[in-house]
Amino acid sequence: MKLLLLFFLIATSTISVSASNIPNQIHPLRPQSGAAGHRIPGINCLSWRLAVETDNIRDWDVVPATCENYVGHYMLGHQYRKDCDAAAAAAYEYAKSLKLKGDGKDAWVFDIDETSLSNLPYYALPENAFGAKEYNETSFQEWELKGIAPPVPATLYLYKNLLRLGYKIVFLSGKKENLRAITEKNMKNSGYHTWEKLILKQSDDSGLTALAYKSKRRTALVKAGYRILGNMGDQWSDILGLNVGNRTFKLPNPMFYIA
């Protein structure tokens, strides 16, 4: 009986190559891992994450409640790290392909949160639910003030190689200036021991969106003579706008959206 069924499956899969049968072919091949949410009508969490990463879904507020588990597994499992590694590897290939002028103006811009440093220990707390709960500014700032965010390993690896290649590193963050001391301490303890500039949000930036603020700061860098050859961030607002750089690299972040 089993053999007959096996034969039947093989037979159908070999004969039905026509386009009209493709859904029937895909269904039995659908991988189970990463398919969380497929039973919930309307939300497939992998599709949701892909749409978020490609900026098809924008201005979303929280992770859909039915995807909390999926996002948690993604972030804590191997896939998030591998996705970051793939972005960093592509960035490194590009970075080392360029011939730098070496006049101290070959710049590479990195965002900080969820790019250089990871706030995953905070987001993994039950009350934060990997972004499936409303953002709590008070508790997030309490976490930031601890200054114990670990590095994103892929970014730290890229950072070290960029320094070796002679790039000037600029960290451009939406964190506020009053967090400078703890942020610099956290960065150094995490392995980011030097930089050209570490730019934080000033009081006169408070009305700006992240996209406008980062555009403004990058434009100032270009006016100061820097060539922004590369730019890496976890938000689209890090890599869209003015003077984004010759190439941009997007790290995954399915936990929150910043316009």
Ligand X SMILES: *[C@@H]1O[C@H](CO)[C@@H](O)[C@H](O)[C@H]1NC(C)=O
Q: Which is nearer to Mg ion, 114 or 205 (CB)?
A: 114
Least Å distance between CB 103 and ligand X? 14
Number of residues that bind Mg ion (CB under 5 A): 5
Number of other residues whose CB lies within 10 A of the CB of residue 86: 14
> What residues make contact with ligand X under the rule CB under 6 A?
98, 136, 138-139, 142, 229, 246
What x-and-dash track marks residues 110-139 binding Mg ion by CB under 5 A? -x-xxx------------------------
Selection from Mg ion, ligand X, none that 111 binds (CB < 5 to 8 A by kind) is Mg ion
What H or E segment, with its residue span, contains residue 144? helix 137-146
98 is in the binding site of which of ligand X, Mg ion, none (Cβ under 5 to 8 A by kind)? Answer: ligand X
- Nearest-10 crossing angle of helices 180-189, 137-146: 50
The two structure tokens encoding residue 24: 């029937």
Nearer to Mg ion by Cβ, of 115 and 186: the residue is 115
Q: How far is the CB of 246 from ligand X (least distance, A)?
A: 4
State the amino acid at position 116 in one-letter form: S
- In the bound state with ligand X, the residue whose beta carbon lies nearer, of 14 and 138, is 138
- Grouping H, G, I as helix, E, B as strand and the rest as coil, residue 101 is coil
Cα 134–Cα 76–Cα 156 angle in degrees, nearest 5:
100
The first and second tokens of residue 135, run together, are 């953002």
Our CB check for ligand X shows the closer of 82 and 96 to be: 96
CB 251 within 8 A of CB 80: no
Which stretches of 41-136 are DSSP H helices? 45-53, 68-76, 78-97, 120-123
- Of 37 and 254, CB closest to Mg ion: 254
From the list ligand X, Mg ion, none, partner contacted by residue 56 (C-beta under 5 to 8 A by kind) = none
Please give the residues from 197 up to 236 whose contact with Mg ion meets the rule CB under 5 A.
234
